[in-house]
Structure formats: structure tokens, C-alpha cells
Structure 1
């Protein structure tokens, strides 16, 4: 048992570093749909960040509710302590779920907030779990504090269930799990999405285990996590940097030949006006393949810049690096919770 306890920090750090590494790789290289109803297809790389953190949030809140139910049954304060750590991490992950969803919706739904049933349900869930902490701190008697807090967390599970089912039972812009599975049916997208789901869940559970067991992380392992997080944040900044360099355009139409070369593009400029740019010498489409099987140009919707040599360069949508940065910060916050708990904080 002692050997397993000693190994837990090394296992946890390995999972966290792998999680951040795959998140960065997916944000840069993850497959995306050829065409989308609205916005940039590259915004769909958020699928490798937003759903994994959302699903992990549900699991963490579910664990908090289960631990609270076990406390009510056994009156063992260890279960209440586990619920406390899970609720704290769940709030961090819940905020990240909401923020990354808003960022993605701003592009793919046309507005960051639309009071969509899914968005609203997640907001209500987050507010409910935020209320757990002032409720807990307002009760002076230890036994009554644990009892009331546990009942509260068990009751809050109803909002987790509501959040999960909102886009299934009510008309919603948010896709269902079936739509995500259809996208992940592609082999490359599937393994990348699956890896992100497994590692994100593993990261969340690892931090709860570290907090509950108060094992803490030795300084060398904390340093490794810090380096991985800094690299992840730097990658997010590097990804977003081209969006700050100068004028860029959104493609609303493109004339693409059967040879895959682009003859002209119609773009929306930063001032909202449209302009058609014709190339005296056709250029290669930066998106491959250049057209879908039914002939639609895959360049449509993308954000592009015109390079000095006349070629086209596709830029990421700002929501993807933002989501990557937010997730990295959430992981760092979770590690800090684990570090403080090991010192009795």
C-alpha cells in the first residue's frame, strides 16, 4: 500500500503532462469538418478541449454527490472531505466548460450567449455548486455543517442531470452526443478525441486523489507540471499571434478548379465590406482537399491572410487558443488545490 501511495504523484504527473501535450497537439493538428453551417471550420478544433472538460466536470460533480451520499449513510468525515475537494475542482472545471463553450458558440452559433437550454443549464449548475462553499462556511457546528453540506451536494446532482439532458429534451443549438460520435468516427479524429477524453478525465481524477490522500507533489514533479503548463500557454499565445499581426479576411466563397487551384475568393473584410480577389495566377488551396465530394470549396468560412508571395494562409479561430489557455489554467488551479490540501490548507 505504501508503495502505491508513493507512486501516485508520479502517475498523476505523467497523466497531466500527457494530457496537456495531447491538448496542444489536437489544437494545432486535430482534424476538423470540411464545411460547417456557420463560422470557421477550424473553430471545431474546440471539440478536443470543450467536450472533454465538460464530461470531466460531470464526473467530478457526480463524484462529489456520491461521496456526500456515502457520508449521509456512513457518517464518515472522509467522504465529506472527498466531496469538498471534488466540488472545488468541479467549480474550476465548470467555469472552464462554460467559458470554452461561450468562446466556441461565438463563432459556430453566431453569438457567445443565446440562453440556449444547454448554456443555461450549465450556468445554473455552476451557480449551484458555487453556493456550496458559502453555505458550508456559514455553519459553525462541524457535525451540522457536514450534514447540511452533504444534503446540498446530493440535491445539486439534479442540476448535473439537467445539464446533461438539456439538449436532448429541449430544442437546442448544442449538438448531442450522437453528433460528436459521428465526427469521431473518422479514425484520426476518433483516436485524438478519445485520447483527450481519457486523459482529461484522468487528470481531473488524479488531482482529486492527490487532494484526498494529501500526498502532495514533490518539488521536481511540480516543476515538471509547471514547465508543461508554460509550454501549453506559450503554444496558445503562439497560435493566436497571427491574428494580431495585421488585416485578415473571412472567406465567404471561392472559385476552385477541378485541379484544386483557387482562381478567386470572395472575402469579408474587417470593416464588414465584401471584396472579390482574383488571382492572375491560380494559387493552391491551403485547405486539403480543396473541395468536398459534392464540389463545395472547403476554403469557405476560413479566416485567411494574403502572404507576400500571393499565396493564402489559413489562420486559427481565436476561440481555440483561448480554450487551450483556459484549460491549462484550470489544470494548474487543480494542482494548486492538491498542493494546498497536502499542507492542510
Structure 2
């Protein structure tokens, strides 16, 4: 009986430790991505950014988190209390569980499933529910309008993202994310799929409701949109969820297009650096694109946003799938298992 109990507890304990090894650094990274964003935008606009709390403002994220933690949670009198509190939890949890299938290095993945890409599709599709629930449960016109905008935007750009990923899957011949990285041993997929790589970068900005596609939280007309009624930790969960989603999308981009944990050149100085370090550096590179876009680009009008998704990105990504499949079949490049 004792052996049976040990046999049951030990694997669970190992899994819990593995989850904590992913989640704890991720939460620290989310806090410091906010700091990095403010610093990068500050330098781009010729100012300092956070400088007061701690040396070079390094303790600013902790101060912000503490402030939100000790504030009172206010639930509007006309709101649906249960759904109102559940919405930010859903958004935050979905941003975390996507990491279960992301490979950090050779064999370094929590769940090395053969349908990892489908798992990520499912998780990203569910992301819209947290925002819809927040907009509806707040019982506010501004919040509801922000939620409607957000759901339409996320659904529109998810289709383009799906078709772009399909092109990558045809090239790699596998739905397993580790296999997709290994397929880029000779050439990273952003080179043969460069037009789709650029569209993918634009689409993940729209998918995460980030500038210049941050229409759901348009301060000028919607006073921050779907989260306008939120305060304290409920607001903090939305905030953390948004930045965790940015890091997740950057991770997905580096796995699909930038060779994941693989070094840029398979030669002496580059091969000394461990795979997970390369993976983190690539995530930082894509995150810089998020910051850069926010610092430099004007916001789209809503009709422009929808037109770009449906009339430009969708036809282009669909055409690319046909061209990729045709090329692979014509030159007999499809992987033979």
C-alpha cells in the first residue's frame, strides 16, 4: 500500500515542481516586461521612464503590484458578481496554461503532445470568453462595447493566424512543437515564409489587443473598454493576463518561425550558449516589436482594423497555404514518416 501511495504521489510532486518552474519565472517576467516596456518607450521618446522606486526604478513593478493588491475590490451594484470576478481569473489562467506545450529546449517541455499546435489553437480561442464575460458582467455600456469590439477583432485575426500556422505545419510535417523546431535545423521558417512572418507579427498584436490595434480599450472613446469597472487585484489579473499573453505569443512566434531553442548558426561560439537562453533571447526580440509598435504607430480606426483582417490578411494567408502546399508537392518535399 505504501509503495502504491509513493508511486502515485511522486509523479504528481514532480509535475507540480515542473509547473512551478514555469509559472514562477513567468510571473516575475510579466512584472518586469511592464518595466521594460516603460523603459523602452521612455528612451524612444527621449525621457527616463521609471527611475524613483529602487535603483534605476527596478522595484517599480513590485510597488505597482503592492498598490493594486492592497486596494479595495469594488463590484458595481448592477454587475453580475460571480461572472464579474470570474472573468479576470479566466483571462489570467488561459495565459498561463498555454505554456504547457511550449518547448524551452531539447526535451524541456511540460507536455510533449503530438497535437501541441491544436492545443494552442484551443487555448487562444478561449481567450475571448474572459473579455466577453467582463464586458457583459460589468453592466456598463462602455465595457460592453469594448468587449464586442475585442471579440470581433480576436476572431477575425485568429483565422489569419490559423492559416499562417497551417503553412508552417505543411513545411514541418508535424503538429508537435518540438518537431517544428527540429525541422528548422537547416533554415528558420521566417526566411521561406517571410511575408507570412510579417503578417503573423501584425496579427499577434491584434490578437493580444495591443497597439496599434488596441481598439477594445480605446481611452479616447471607451475609457479603457471592457475593464473600465475593474479595480485592485481584478484589474491586476487582466493586466497580468495581457502581458502573459504577449510573452506566450512571442514564445509561439519563436517556435514557429525563429527556430525555438536552436542557435542562429551551428558554429563554435553560438553552440556554447544553451538552447533555453536562445529561446529567451528570441522571446525578448519579439517583445521588443510589441514595445516598438506602441511607441511609434498611431491607432487604427475600427473599420480599418476589420478591413485589414478580412480583406488583406485572410486572402493573403489563404493564398500562401495553397502556394506552400503546391510547392511542397511539386518538388516532393513533404516529410515521409
Shorter chain as denominator, the TM-score bin is: 0.3 to 0.5
TM-score, reference length from structure 2: 0.32
TM-score, reference length from structure 1: 0.32
More helix by share: 2
Larger Rg: 1
